[in-house]
Every structure is written in C-alpha cells, then in structure tokens.
Copies of this chain bind each other. A is one copy, B any other.
Amino acid sequence: MPVCQQFDVNCPSRLLFDQIADKWSMMVLSVLDTGPMRFNGIKRHLEGVTQKALTQCLRRLERNGLITRRVIPVSPIAVEYEMTPLGRTLLPPFKALYAWTMANLSEVDAARRAFDSRS
C-alpha cells in the first residue's frame, strides 16, 4: 500500500497529516500523555512556545478530537486539557516516527555534511 493512494495534495490522509505534523502538536500530545494539564502547565513544559502558538495548537487538537478542553470556573479561571482516547491512539505511530529519527540522526547528519561539502 502506498503512503498516499492518490499522490494528490488533496489526499484525505494528507489533509489530516498537516494538522498533526506541525511544530508543536507532537510535543503537546506527548506532554498530555502523562496526564491532564492546565494551559500554563503545558506552556512551561514546551520551552520556546509562545502563548499564541500554543493556543492555536490546542484549538486545532481539540477541533480534531485529540484533546478535550475543560473550563474550571474558579477565580482566577482554570482550564484543563486532557487527551482523548482517539488522541491516545495517535501516539504509537508518532513514537514509531520518533524512534526512526533518533535511530537515524547520525546517518542523516553524515549525509547532510557530505551533500554540503559537495556544493
């Protein structure tokens, strides 16, 4: 089975892939895999993320059904994010890809140096 059956930018798989392969989603899901967490808790775990970027990322994950957002009406307001069962099913494939990157980092790096020295 090919990775994308239609080799098309509108391949249904690609439209979903784009939503989860972005800059922060993978790390947010990984953080939430350890349990529910509040906004600033997540933010503290992701060094370098801005509030805007994290908000957008969380919204997208929520819209795609991978996490839930629960407002706790205390003062000041608290918002807890939690992985859904669907979100949990995404972690194994992600981890497989993560394992590949870690296993092949050095080989890729060698290829890059070879390429860069050629040009």
In the complex, what residues of B have CB within 8 A of residue A16's CB?
Answer: 101, 104-105, 108
Chain B residue at smallest Cβ distance from A103: B89
User: CB distance A112 to B65 under 8 Å?
Assistant: yes
Determine how many copies of this chain the complex contains: 2
**A interface secondary structure, majority:** helix
Chain B residue at smallest Cβ distance from A8: B47
> A74 near B: Cβ within 8 Å?
no
User: CB distance A90 to B86 under 8 Å?
Assistant: no
> A78 near B: Cβ within 8 Å?
no
In the complex, what residues of B have CB within 8 A of residue A97's CB?
Answer: 17, 93-94, 96-97
Kindly state the separation between the CA atoms of A99 and B1 in the bound complex, as whole angstroms: 10
